[in-house]
Amino acid sequence: MLQNKNSKMTLSAETMNLDFVKKVEKLSGSSVRRCFQCGKCSAGCPMRTFMEHPPNRIVRLLQLGQYERVLAGRSIWYCASCETCSTRCPNKVDLAAIMDALRKCSWDAKGASKESLVQLANRLFLDNIRTYGRQYEMRLAAAFNLHSGKLLKDFMLGPKLLTKGKLKMFHQKNKNLQEIEKIFSRIEELRKKGEAP
Amino acid sequence: MHAEKLKHDFEPKIVAFVCTWCTYAGADLAGTSRMQYPPNVRVLKFPCTGRIDPVFILRAFQKGADGILVSGCHPGDCHYMAGNFHARRRFATFRKLLEFIGVDLERLQFSWVSAAEGGKWVEVVTELTERVRSMGPMAEFKELELEECWSGKLDTAELQEAYAAI
Amino acid sequence: MTKNVLNYSYYPGCSLHASAKEYDESTQELFKILRIGLQEVPDWLCCGATPAHNVDELLSLSLCAKNLELSEQVEGDLAVACAACFSRLKTAQHKLEENPEKRKQVEYALDAPLTMDKPVKHLLEILAKDYGLEQLSSAMRKSLSGLKVACYYGCLLTRPADVPQLDCAEAPTIMERVIESMGAETVKWSHRLECCGANFTLSRPGVVLQLSNEILASAQRAGADCIMVACPLCHANLDIRQKDIEAASGTRYNLPVLYMTQLLALGAGVSAKKLGFDSMMVSPLPLLQEKGLV
Amino acid sequence: MSRIGVFVCHCGENISRTVDVERVAEAARKISGVAYACDYKYMCSDPGQNLLKNAVSEQKLDGIVVAACSPRMHEKTFRKAAQSAGLNPYLCEMANIREHCSWVHEDKEEATAKATEIVTMLVERVKMNKKLQPITVPVTKRALVIGGGIAGIQAALDIADCGHHVVLVEREPSIGGHMAQLSETFPTLDCSQCIMTPKMVDVANHPNITLHTYSEVENVDGYIGNFQITIKKKARSVDMDKCTGCGICMAKCPQKKIPNAFDKNLGMRPAIYVPFPQAVPNTPVIDRENCTWFKTGKCGVCAKVCGPGAVDYSQEDQLIVEDVGAIVVATGFELYSIAEKPKGSMIKGYGEFGHGKIPDVIDGMTFERLASASGPTGGKILRPSDGKEPQSVVFLQCIGSRAREKGISYCSKICCMYTAKHTMLYHHKVHDGQAYVFFMDARTPGKGYDEFWRRSIEDENAVYIRGAVSRLYEKGDKIVVMGSDISLGIQVEIEADMVVLATAVQPRTGAELLAQKLGISYDKYNFYSEAHAKLRPVECATAGVYLAGACQGPKDIPDTVSQASAAAAKVMTLFAKDELEREPIVAKVDDKRCVACFYCKKVCPYGAVEEKEIRDRQGNLVKVVAYVNPGVCGGCGTCQATCPSKSVELDGYTDEQIMAQIEAL
Residue A68 identity (one-letter amino acid): E
Asked if D165 contacts D143 with a C-beta cutoff of 8 angstroms, the reply is yes
What CATH class does D142-332+523-575 carry? Answer: alpha beta
What DSSP designation does D348 have? -
CA distance D331 to D507: 8
Q: Beta strand C78-80 with C120-122: parallel, antiparallel or unpaired?
A: parallel
- Interchain proximity D99–B30, CB inside 8 Å: yes
Q: Beta strand B14-19 with B67-72: parallel, antiparallel or unpaired?
A: parallel
Question: How sure is the predictor about A107, in pLDDT bands with cuts at 50, 70 and 90?
Answer: confident
Q: Which of D434, D457, D490 minimises the CB distance to A6?
A: D490
Q: What is the mean pLDDT of residues A31-44?
A: 95
pLDDT for position C57: 93
Residue D252 burial class via C-beta count within 10 angstroms: exposed 0-12, middle 13-18, buried 19 and up: middle
- Interchain proximity D650–B31, CB inside 8 Å: no
Residue C16 sits in the same domain as residue C115: yes
Substitution target in D72, D99, D524, D602 with the highest count of B β-carbons within 10 Å is D99
Q: Which residues of C touch A173 (CB under 8 A)?
A: none
CA separation, residue A85 to residues A96, A145, C208 (Å):
7, 32, 19
**Of D311, D178, D328, D152, which Cα lies nearest the Cα of D245?**
D311
Tell me the Ramachandran region of residue A196: left when phi exceeds 0, alpha when psi lies from -120 to 50, beta otherwise: beta
Question: How sure is the predictor about B147, in pLDDT bands with cuts at 50, 70 and 90?
Answer: low
**The total number of residues written for chain D in this structure:** 665
Residue A193 burial class via C-beta count within 10 angstroms: exposed 0-12, middle 13-18, buried 19 and up: exposed
Q: Residue D1 pLDDT > 60, yes or no?
A: yes
Residue C46 sits in the same domain as residue C112: yes
Nearest chain D residue to B84 by CA distance is D638
Looking at residue A102, which CATH number applies to its domain?
Answer: 1.10.1060.10
Burial A111-120 (b: 16+ CB within 10 A, else e): ebbebebbbb
Residue A91 sits in the same domain as residue A145: no
What pLDDT, in 10s, does the model give residues D223-264?
899 999 999 999 999 999 999 999 999 999 999 999 999 999
Task: Determine phi and psi for C16, rounding to 5 degrees.
Answer: -70, -15
Chain centre distance of CA A30: 17
Q: Residue D305 pLDDT > 90, yes or no?
A: yes
Substitution target in A9, A17, A62 with the highest count of D β-carbons within 10 Å is A9
Question: Which residue, C52, C87, C122, sits at the end of a domain?
Answer: C122
Percent of chain D with pLDDT over 90: 91
pLDDT for position A151: 67
**Of D470, D425, D479, which Cα lies nearest the Cα of D184?**
D425
Task: Determine phi and psi for A188, rounding to 5 degrees.
Answer: -60, -40
Question: How sure is the predictor about A1, in pLDDT bands with cuts at 50, 70 and 90?
Answer: very low
D426 SS3 class: helix
Nearest chain D residue to B66 by CA distance is D665
Residue A29 sits in the same domain as residue A103: yes
- Interchain proximity D665–B50, CB inside 8 Å: no
The continuous run of DSSP H or E covering D334 comes out as strand D333-335
The alpha carbon of residue D428 is apart from the nearest alpha carbon of chain B, in Å, by: 48
**Of A139, A82, A176, A135, which Cα lies nearest the Cα of C13?**
A135
Is residue A63 less than 8 Å (CB to CB) from chain D? yes
Q: Each residue's pLDDT tens digit in chain C (294 positions)?
A: 568 899 999 999 999 988 899 999 999 999 999 999 999 999 999 999 988 998 899 999 999 999 999 999 999 999 999 999 999 999 999 999 999 999 999 999 999 999 888 999 999 999 999 999 999 999 999 999 999 999 999 999 999 988 999 999 999 999 999 999 999 999 999 999 999 998 888 888 899 999 999 999 999 999 999 999 999 999 999 999 999 999 999 999 999 999 999 999 999 999 999 999 998 999 999 999 999 998
SS3 sequence, C80-119?
ECCHHHHHHHHHHHHHHHHCHHHHHHHHHHHCCCCCCCCC
Q: Which residues of C touch A182 (CB under 8 A)?
A: 111
- Interchain proximity A10–D391, CB inside 8 Å: no
Tell me the Ramachandran region of residue D355: left when phi exceeds 0, alpha when psi lies from -120 to 50, beta otherwise: left
Is residue C132 in some structural domain? no
- The overall average pLDDT reported for chain B is 86
Q: What interhelical angle do C83-98 and C100-110 show, nearest 10?
A: 110
Residue C36 sits in the same domain as residue C89: yes
Q: What is the mean pLDDT of residues D581-585?
A: 87
Is residue A148 in some structural domain? yes
Substitution target in B68, B81, B149 with the highest count of D β-carbons within 10 Å is B81
Residues of C numbered 162-221 whose beta carbons fall under 8 angstroms of chain A's beta carbons: which are they? Answer: 169-170, 193-195, 197-200, 202-205, 207, 210-211
Nearest chain A residue to D461 by CA distance is A33
Is residue A5 in some structural domain? no
- Interchain proximity D434–A6, CB inside 8 Å: no
Asked if D330 contacts D549 with a C-beta cutoff of 8 angstroms, the reply is yes
**Of B65, B43, B68, which Cα lies nearest the Cα of D658?**
B43
In D104-186 the beta strands, taken as DSSP E runs, fall at 135-138, 142-146, 165-169, 184-185
Is residue C130 less than 8 Å (CB to CB) from chain A? no
**The total number of residues written for chain C in this structure:** 294
Is residue C285 less than 8 Å (CB to CB) from chain A? no
Decide which of 3.30.70.20, 3.40.50.300, 3.30.70.3270, 3.40.50.2300 is the CATH code for D583-663.
3.30.70.20
Substitution target in D488, D491, D492, D493 with the highest count of A β-carbons within 10 Å is D488
Residue A121 sits in the same domain as residue A165: yes
Residue C110 sits in the same domain as residue C40: yes
- Interchain proximity C51–A107, CB inside 8 Å: no
Q: Residue B1 pLDDT > 50, yes or no?
A: no
Is residue B31 less than 8 Å (CB to CB) from chain D? yes
DSSP string, D69-90: S-HHHHHHHHHHHHHHTTS-GG
Is residue A36 less than 8 Å (CB to CB) from chain D? yes
Question: Which residue, A109, A127, A142, sits at the end of a domain?
Answer: A109
CA distance C170 to C160: 10
Residue A41 sits in the same domain as residue A105: yes
Is residue A156 in some structural domain? yes
Is residue B98 less than 8 Å (CB to CB) from chain D? no
Residue A22 sits in the same domain as residue A104: yes
Is residue C129 in some structural domain? no
Asked if D63 contacts D2 with a C-beta cutoff of 8 angstroms, the reply is yes
CA distance C81 to C102: 27
Q: Which residues of D touch A7 (CB under 8 A)?
A: 490
Q: Which residues of B touch D107 (CB under 8 A)?
A: 5, 39
**Of C267, C50, C251, C287, which Cα lies nearest the Cα of C145?**
C267
pLDDT for position D438: 98
The alpha carbon of residue D513 is apart from the nearest alpha carbon of chain B, in Å, by: 21
Question: How sure is the predictor about D93, in pLDDT bands with cuts at 50, 70 and 90?
Answer: very high
Is residue A46 in some structural domain? yes
pLDDT for position B116: 87
Q: Which residues of D touch A33 (CB under 8 A)?
A: 457-458
Residue A127 sits in the same domain as residue A79: no
Is residue A197 in some structural domain? no
Number of domains observed in the structure of chain C: 2
CA distance D288 to D299: 13
Task: Determine phi and psi for D591, rounding to 5 degrees.
Answer: -55, -35
Is residue C108 in some structural domain? yes
Q: Residue B2 pLDDT > 50, yes or no?
A: no
Residue A104 sits in the same domain as residue A24: yes
C285 SS3 class: helix
What pLDDT, in 10s, does the model give residues D444-502?
999 999 999 999 999 999 999 999 999 999 999 999 999 999 999 999 999 999 999 99
Question: How sure is the predictor about A92, in pLDDT bands with cuts at 50, 70 and 90?
Answer: very high
**Close Cβ partners of C61 (under 8 Å, ≥ 6 residues apart):** C92, C95, C96, C102, C106
Q: Which residues pair with D494 in a beta bridge?
A: A11, D481
Domain assignments of chain D as residue spans, ordered by start: 4-128, 142-332+523-575, 334-506, 583-663
- Interchain proximity B47–D117, CB inside 8 Å: no
Looking at residue C76, which CATH number applies to its domain?
Answer: 1.20.1050.140
The alpha carbon of residue B108 is apart from the nearest alpha carbon of chain D, in Å, by: 16
Which chains, if any, share at least 3 CB pairs under 8 A with chain B?
A: D
Is residue A56 less than 8 Å (CB to CB) from chain D? yes
**Of D126, D140, D178, D102, which Cα lies nearest the Cα of D2?**
D126
- C-alpha dihedral sign at D594, D596, D602, D606: positive
Number of domains observed in the structure of chain A: 2
**ipTM > 0.85, yes or no:** no
Q: Residue B150 pLDDT > 60, yes or no?
A: no
Is residue A1 in some structural domain? no
Chain centre distance of CA D165: 21
pLDDT for position B3: 45
DSSP 3-state percent helix, strand, coil across chain D (nearest 5):
30, 25, 45
Which chains, if any, share at least 3 CB pairs under 8 A with chain A?
A: C, D
Question: Which residue, A81, A109, A137, sits at the end of a domain?
Answer: A109
**Of A20, A15, A19, A21, which Cα lies nearest the Cα of A2?**
A15
The alpha carbon of residue A100 is apart from the nearest alpha carbon of chain C, in Å, by: 5
- Say if D4-128 and D334-506 have the same CATH topology: no
Substitution target in C25, C41, C46 with the highest count of A β-carbons within 10 Å is C46
The continuous run of DSSP H or E covering D368 comes out as helix D364-371
Asked if D99 contacts D115 with a C-beta cutoff of 8 angstroms, the reply is no
Is residue A11 in some structural domain? no
The alpha carbon of residue A67 is apart from the nearest alpha carbon of chain D, in Å, by: 14
Q: Which residues of C touch A181 (CB under 8 A)?
A: none
**Of C38, C40, C35, which Cα lies nearest the Cα of C5?**
C35
Q: What is the mean pLDDT of residues A170-192?
A: 87
Domain carrying residue A175: 117-192
- Least trusted range by pLDDT, from A4-8, A191-195, C60-64, D149-153: A4-8
The continuous run of DSSP H or E covering C213 comes out as helix C205-221
Whether there are 3 or more C-beta pairs closer than 8 Å between A and C is: yes
Residue A140 sits in the same domain as residue A105: no
**HSE toward the beta carbon, residue A54, CA cutoff 13 A:** 17
The continuous run of DSSP H or E covering D610 comes out as strand D609-615
Q: Which residues of A touch D490 (CB under 8 A)?
A: 6-9
Question: Which residue, C66, C88, C122, sits at the end of a domain?
Answer: C122
Question: How sure is the predictor about A93, in pLDDT bands with cuts at 50, 70 and 90?
Answer: very high
Decide which of 1.20.120, 3.30.920, 3.40.50, 1.10.3470 is the CATH code for D4-128.
3.40.50
Task: Tell me which of D347 and D339 has the higher pLDDT.
Answer: D339
Looking at residue C256, which CATH number applies to its domain?
Answer: 3.40.50.11810
- Least trusted range by pLDDT, from A145-159, B89-103, D81-95, D498-512: A145-159
What pLDDT, in 10s, does the model give residues A123-178?
889 998 998 888 887 778 878 887 777 766 776 676 777 777 776 666 667 888 99
**Close Cβ partners of A163 (under 8 Å, ≥ 6 residues apart):** none
Chain centre distance of CA D137: 23
What pLDDT, in 10s, does the model give residues D119-133?
999 999 999 999 999
What pLDDT, in 10s, does the model give residues D374-399?
999 999 999 999 999 999 999 999 99
Residue C280 sits in the same domain as residue C203: yes
CA distance D547 to D533: 12
DSSP string, D4-43: EEEEEE-TTTTTTTTS-HHHHHHHHHTSTTEEEEEEES-T
D550 SS3 class: helix
CA separation, residue C247 to residues A121, B82, C217, C242 (Å):
25, 69, 14, 9
**Of B104, B110, B109, B111, which Cα lies nearest the Cα of B138?**
B104
- Interchain proximity D605–B25, CB inside 8 Å: no
- The overall average pLDDT reported for chain A is 86
The alpha carbon of residue D422 is apart from the nearest alpha carbon of chain A, in Å, by: 19
Residue A135 sits in the same domain as residue A95: no
Is residue A2 in some structural domain? no
CA distance D43 to D6: 11
**HSE toward the beta carbon, residue A167, CA cutoff 13 A:** 16
pLDDT for position A108: 86
Q: What domains does chain B contain, in order, with CATH numbers?
A: 14-137 (3.40.50)
Q: Beta strand A9-11 with D490-496: parallel, antiparallel or unpaired?
A: parallel
The alpha carbon of residue A7 is apart from the nearest alpha carbon of chain D, in Å, by: 7
CA distance C160 to C168: 10
Domain carrying residue C248: 144-288
Residue A179 sits in the same domain as residue A162: yes
Q: Residue B137 pLDDT > 60, yes or no?
A: yes
Residue C58 sits in the same domain as residue C194: no
Question: How sure is the predictor about D271, in pLDDT bands with cuts at 50, 70 and 90?
Answer: very high
Nearest chain A residue to C53 by CA distance is A100
Domain covering D334-506: architecture: 3-Layer(bba) Sandwich (3.50)
Q: What interhelical angle do A18-28 and A95-109 show, nearest 10?
A: 120
Is residue A34 less than 8 Å (CB to CB) from chain C? no
CA distance D153 to D200: 7
Q: Residue D578 pLDDT > 60, yes or no?
A: yes
